[in-house]
């Protein structure tokens, strides 16, 4: 399988899965971090990128559309092969190896040994913002939590990067990064910069 075609020294080509969710904000954040950002909707577009963001949105809808568009199996294969991937909110759910309370027909891409709970912090009207300390960042990030999940537990191979009110809200395992909150909505691009650096290192 093709795993990106960016020449050495060139800006990495980072895709954003553009089936449903806040694609535009991620594209802007990645561009601000020096990546060449592109929307991904088809398997051939997925094959061309060096890394991929799985955006927020509705995780069940995204998973069903990924199957419909023929993206689910190629995406799982790329993640298994080590393609850097970053999931926010719904994307965090998609990267979990197991969902505690899946909806009918919901699938995950996997890649992080964690169990997630959907809508763990509450429904849409219970969305909130909070300062979140993230390992490796000198100052807290402004976390926007919208129907956000949390990780109930993580395996030995996964590193917890952040917690909020005692719940795990950021995790990394190898080349897979996940946050329960939405940094793309805040103008703070430090996590996108970290992910872009992960993509460069993998390339």
CA distances from 181 to 6, 117, 165 (A): 30, 14, 14
Annotated active-site positions, please? Answer: 89, 182, 184
How far apart are alpha carbons 92 and 116 in whole angstroms? 8
At 163, list the tokens: 């917690």
How far apart are alpha carbons 145 and 68 in whole angstroms? 28
| Residues near 147 by beta carbon (within 8 Å), at least 6 away in sequence | 89, 119, 121, 122, 123, 124, 127
């Amino acid at each position: 399988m093709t795993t990106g075609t960016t020449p050495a020294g060139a800006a990495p080509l980072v895709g954003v899965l553009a089936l449903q969710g806040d694609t535009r904000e991620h594209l802007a954040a990645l561009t601000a971090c020096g990546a060449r950002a592109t929307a991904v909707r088809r398997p051939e577009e997925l094959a061309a990128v060096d890394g991929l963001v799985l955006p927020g949105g509705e995780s069940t809808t995204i998973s069903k559309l990924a199957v419909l568009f023929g993206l689910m199996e190629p995406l799982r294969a790329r993640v298994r092969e080590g393609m850097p991937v970053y999931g926010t909110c719904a994307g965090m759910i998609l990267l979990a190896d197991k969902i505690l309370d899946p909806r009918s027909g919901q699938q995950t891409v996997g890649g992080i040994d964690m169990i997630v709970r959907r809508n763990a912090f509450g429904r849409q009207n219970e969305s909130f913002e909070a300062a979140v300390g993230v390992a490796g960042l000198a100052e807290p990030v402004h976390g926007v939590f919208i129907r956000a999940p949390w990780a109930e537990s993580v395996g030995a191979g996964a590193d917890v990067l952040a917690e909020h009110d005692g719940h795990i809200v950021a995790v990394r395992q190898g080349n897979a990064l996940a946050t329960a909150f939405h940094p793309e909505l805040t103008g703070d691009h430090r996590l996108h910069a970290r992910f872009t650096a992960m993509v460069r290192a993998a390339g």
